Amino acid sequence: MDVSAVNSLSFEEFVEIFGNVVEKCPLVAAAVWSQRPFTSLGDIEAAIADFIDGLSDSGKEGILRCHPDLAGRDVQRGTLTPESQAEQSQAGLTQLEPEELAQIGALNAQYKQRFGFPFVICARMNDRPAILAQLSQRLGNKPAHELLGAIQEVKRICNLRLQALVRPILPAPAQLSSTPPKL
């Protein structure tokens, strides 16, 4: 859909369509609906980012807690959102060997114990080795730094999900002139 179609959506339709651009957080879509009319995909993305940035740290942590563990129990149970399923599958996290599954499970547990929320990374922009490396490396971050970094990853995920939903408005083709160009 294009931005004009987005602007014509009712509140319920908007929340239904955009309610998972931030994983399991339809409240974000509900909060930005009133900012219509949007002028571009970037405008929608900016409204969402501004809403997230305006949250308290506990609100940001709440958004992070809505994300599933990478290669976690939701993968095994088949309860990931369709978006997360596609993203984790693309990164190779749904076909892990038992020892890789154990390794990522242990790292996820350490991460959640240290920071109080799941490890979040834009899986579509990474592959399995990069994700494991980031998970190990980010365990050493200070909590405030990790909160900011994890929220940046949420915004990356949101950007890609928005791109899948909204077509940018393309400029109209230039009118062809019958006058030859001046040299």
Q: Is 145 an annotated catalytic residue?
A: no
Distance CA 64, CA 116 (A): 9
Considering the candidates 41, 47, 52, 67, report the single residue annotated as catalytic. Answer: 67
Could you tell me the maximum CA-CA distance found in the chain, to the nearest angstrom? 70
Instruction: Give dist(CA 21, CA 165) in Å, integer.
Output: 9
Task: Catalogue the active-site residues.
Answer: 67
